[in-house]
Amino acid sequence: MKTLSSFIISFCSVCAAVGGIYMIIPSGKLSKSVKYIIVLTVITAFLGLFTVSFGINFGFDTKEKVDTFNNSEATVKAVFEKALKDNKINYEKIIIFTDKTKEGGITITKVEIYSSDQEEKILSVIGNSEAYDVEIIG
C-alpha cells in the first residue's frame, strides 16, 4: 500500500510540475518541439518510477556479477606458481583449497603441490604457514 501511495504522490507532483512548465513555455515555432521533449521526459520518468516502485525487472542487468571466491583462489594459485617458477622449482600442478568465513572472507585451508623437488626447498619458497596445511605430493 505504501508503494501505491508514493506512486500517486509522485504522479500528482509530476503533473503539477508539467502544468507549470507548460505555462512557462513561449508560444510560437518552438512550443511544439519543447512540449514534445517534455512529454518524452515525463514518459521516461514515469516508466522509471513505475518499474522501481513495483519491482519490475526487464532483465537488463548492467552490473557484472563477479565471483570473488574463484577469483581469489586463482590469484593465490598464480602467486604460488610465480614463486615456484622464480625459484626454479619444477611442479606439475598446484591445488588450492579455500573456505569462506562467517564474515564473508576467504581463507586458504590447504595447498597441494605436485612436485618431485625437495620438500624443504618448496616450503622455504611458499612458507610453512600455520594458517594452512601444505602437502607436497611427489
Q: What is the mean pLDDT of residues 78-106?
A: 87
pLDDT tens string 76-88 = 888 889 988 999 9
Helix (H) or strand (E) holding 119: helix 119-126
Q: How far apart are CA 92 and CA 78, in angstroms?
A: 14
Can you give the pTM of this predicted structure? 0.48
Which residue in this structure is represented by grid cell 625459484?
87
Which residue in this structure is represented by grid cell 597441494?
112
